[in-house]
């Protein structure tokens, strides 16, 4: 029987409106919880364990539901004591990146997205959004294949998003151009405001004033100085803003043999320089001897710590400002200042700054200092004791050393000094500058009969917390351990 005119039910009323998806917290796949006598909860993962604290029996029972997931809203109010305990447990798991989050319907096991924290303490943050708000995708956001999954991530974000529903990818693709939320809501399969709010909270999506202005790039603030590939490389090649394996883990040991230490020879008749050297033999110069004596030191003699006088001499020879000048490229270009130091720098930018984490130095209190290369002075920076300890212990671990270095020099870059001038290669130039400064520190340490060792890992998030500077404005690009060698003249572990 056909519906009579005027009696047909409106489509919106005939169809039950879908409930909006909600955010669940759940244990990461490799994590198991174990409750010990007395209520202590341990998390086990990858052959290791973390003690999370002591909780009531009710919390221990409810915590087992974290395997499948607990709605954040079910304990976020904190009205009951058990809710407060559950939230504390989940936050402690988050502190160690042992928990992930998913967005799905309340009575469904089909996720829209799964959120993997990339920084410690990540907690889903949302922004209130309305129909008139205009959103656009950050130019630092990207989607890529990871195994059999599609992931959405950004070096700005504290988490990455595993996309489980193709409508999410379609919505993201639309946001390459600014879109009002009212238009997005009319799209078939719209994933909901909660997802957009999560992406805005991670700065993967940006709110802009209007679709017609030059807002999409301006909305990035001072990140306008960064190229996409430079910013991504900085965030992913350092520690602190991703959860990928990092360091000497030999990821391809079972796949390919190592390359030979000496390159296979090219065909052709060689010109033997040894004969020429013998014919023009001269005693090695002091510089040649210094270069040959240079080596890495990972063990330091804490019974004979480095002195403040030696630190002063090393910084004076390696990093003090020698002269200042200004230049102008063209008549209408702004004046550019230069502060020359003893080492070469790309474009005379001299963007590198030195920060000293002092553990054991005669005449200098334990703490964190900035080296003012203009005044040749050390300026103390107030930091929490556990942050200083974390910085020193990370260097000890990276060097596989028996103890922390007496002094750890963090080489930080003021990125805008280089990217203001150079396009496409700014970060590469900064790393070259780090190389020449590191060699300069090595040579000064060798001449002074001190021990030094370049450290390949730096935590950009920890540095940001210690200095209060945003990681994209100024951040670590290298480290150098310094002290009095426990074994003078010997390269530890056979490494250079």
Tokens found for residue 481: 């351990």
Mean pLDDT of 338-342: 96
Percent of the chain with pLDDT over 70: 92
- For the segment 295-302, the average pLDDT, to the nearest whole number, is 95
Q: Which tens digit of pLDDT belongs to each residue from 306-321?
A: 999 999 999 999 999 9
Per-residue confidence band for 387, with pLDDT thresholds at 50, 70 and 90: very high
Is the pLDDT at 213 greater than 70? The verdict is no
432-461 pLDDT, tens digit each: 999 999 999 999 999 999 999 999 989 999
Assess whether pLDDT exceeds 60 at residue 378. yes
Give per-residue pLDDT as tens, 74-123.
887 767 889 999 999 999 999 999 999 999 987 788 899 999 999 988 99
Tokens of 228: 């996409």
Cβ atoms of 415 and 431 closer than 8 Å:
no
Predicted confidence at residue 328, as pLDDT, reads 80
Query: Quick check: 187 pLDDT over 90?
Result: no
Mean model confidence pLDDT for the chain: 91
Burial of 51 (0-12, 13-18, 19+ CB in 10 A): exposed
Cα angle: 238, vertex 240, 244; to 5 degrees: 70
Q: SS3 string of 2-50?
A: CCCCCCCCCHHHHCCCCCCCEEEEEECCCCEEEECCCCEEEEEECCEEE
The residues that bridge with 95 in the sheet, in sequence order, are none
Q: Residue 417 is encoded by which pair of tokens?
A: 């000094």
- The angle that helices 426-447 and 228-236 make with each other, rounded to 10 degrees, is 40
Angle between helices 308-318 and 426-447 (to 10 degrees): 130
Cα angle 421, 424, 428; round to 5: 90
Q: List Cβ neighbours of 189 (8 Å cut-off, separation of 6 or more).
A: 165, 167, 170
- Whether residue 55 contacts residue 229, with contact meaning beta carbons closer than 8 Å, is answered with no
Yes or no: say if 466 and 459 are a contact pair by the CB < 8 Å rule: no
Longest Cα pair distance anywhere in the chain, in angstroms? Answer: 111
pLDDT of residue 224: 92
Cβ neighbours of residue 370 under 8 Å, at least 6 residues apart? 353, 354, 355, 356, 378, 379, 381
Give the pLDDT of residue 341.
97
Q: Are 129 and 170 a contacting pair, CB within 8 Å?
A: no
> Highest-confidence range of 4-18, 222-236, 332-346, by mean pLDDT?
222-236
Q: How confident is the model at residue 496 (pLDDT cuts 50, 70, 90)?
A: low
Per-residue confidence band for 216, with pLDDT thresholds at 50, 70 and 90: low
- Looking only at the bridges linking them, the beta strands covering 361-362 and 306-307 are parallel
Confidence of residue 492 (pLDDT cuts 50, 70, 90): low
The confidence score (pLDDT) of residue 217 equals: 63
- For the stretch 125-181, pLDDT in tens is 888 999 999 999 999 999 999 999 999 999 999 999 999 999 999 999 999 999 999
- pTM for the model: 0.88
Report pLDDT for 4.
Answer: 44
- pLDDT value at position 2? 47
SS3 311: helix
Structure confidence at residue 232 as a pLDDT band (50, 70, 90) = very high
Q: How confident is the model at residue 188 (pLDDT cuts 50, 70, 90)?
A: confident
pLDDT value at 49 more than 90: yes
Contact status, residue 464 vs residue 430, Cβ threshold 8 Å: no
**What's the average model confidence in pLDDT over 365-393?**
98
325 has pLDDT over 90: yes
Mean pLDDT of 44-63: 92
- For residue 333, pLDDT beyond 90: no
Residue 63 confidence (pLDDT) above 80: yes
Give me 198's structure tokens: 């999560």
DSSP code at position 110:
-
pLDDT tens digits for range 7-38:
444 444 444 556 788 999 999 988 999 999 88
């Amino acid at each position: 029987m056909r519906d009579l005119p005027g009696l047909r039910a409106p489509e919106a009323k005939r169809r039950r409106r879908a409930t909006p998806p909600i955010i669940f917290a759940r244990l990461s796949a490799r994590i198991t919880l174990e409750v010990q006598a007395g209520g202590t909860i341990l998390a086990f993962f990858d052959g290791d364990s973390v003690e999370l604290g002591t909780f009531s029996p009710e919390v221990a029972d409810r915590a087992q539901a974290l395997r499948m997931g607990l709605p954040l809203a079910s304990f976020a109010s904190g009205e009951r004591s058990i809710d407060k305990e559950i939230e504390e447990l989940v936050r402690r798991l988050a502190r160690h990146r042992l928990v992930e989050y998913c967005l799905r319907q309340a009575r469904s096991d089909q996720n829209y997205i799964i959120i993997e924290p990339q920084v410690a303490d990540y907690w889903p943050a949302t922004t209130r959004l309305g129909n008139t708000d205009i959103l656009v995708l950050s130019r630092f956001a990207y989607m890529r294949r990871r195994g059999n999954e599609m992931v959405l991530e950004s070096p700005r974000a504290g988490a990455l998003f595993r996309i489980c529903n193709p409508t999410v990818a379609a919505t993201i693709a639309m946001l390459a151009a600014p879109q009002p939320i009212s238009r997005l809501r009319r799209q078939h399969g719209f994933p909901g405001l909660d997802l957009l709010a999560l992406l805005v909270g991670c700065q993967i999506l940006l709110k802009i004033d209007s679709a017609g202005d030059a807002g999409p790039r301006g909305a990035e603030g001072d990140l306008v100085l960064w190229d996409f590939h430079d910013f991504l490389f900085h965030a992913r090649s350092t520690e602190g803003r991703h959860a990928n394996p990092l360091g000497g883990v030999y990821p391809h040991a079972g796949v390919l043999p190592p390359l030979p230490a000496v390159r296979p020879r090219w065909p052709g008749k060689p010109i033997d320089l040894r004969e020429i050297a013998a014919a023009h033999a001269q005693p090695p110069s002091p510089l040649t001897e210094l270069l040959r004596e240079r080596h890495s030191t990972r063990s330091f003699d804490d019974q004979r710590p480095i002195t403040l006088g030696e630190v002063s001499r090393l910084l004076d020879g390696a990093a003090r400002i020698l002269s200042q000048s200004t230049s102008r490229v063209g008549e209408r270009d702004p004046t550019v200042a230069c502060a020359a130091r003893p080492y070469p720098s790309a474009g005379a930018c001299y963007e590198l700054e030195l920060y000293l984490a002092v553990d054991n130095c005669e005449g200098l209190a334990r703490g964190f200092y900035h080296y003012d290369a203009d005044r040749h002075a050390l300026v103390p920076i107030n930091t929490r004791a556990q942050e200083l300890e974390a910085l020193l212990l990370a260097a000890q671990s990276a060097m596989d050393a028996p103890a922390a270095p007496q002094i750890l020099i963090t080489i930080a870059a003021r990125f805008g000094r280089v990217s203001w001038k150079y396009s496409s290669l700014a970060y590469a130039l900064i790393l070259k500058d780090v190389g020449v400064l590191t060699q300069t520190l090595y040579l000064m340490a060798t001449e002074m009969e001190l021990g030094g060792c370049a450290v390949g890992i730096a935590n950009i998030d920890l540095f940001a917390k210690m200095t209060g500077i945003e990681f994209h404005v100024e951040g670590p690009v290298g480290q150098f351990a310094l002290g009095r060698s426990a074994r003078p003249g010997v390269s530890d572990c056979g490494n250079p």
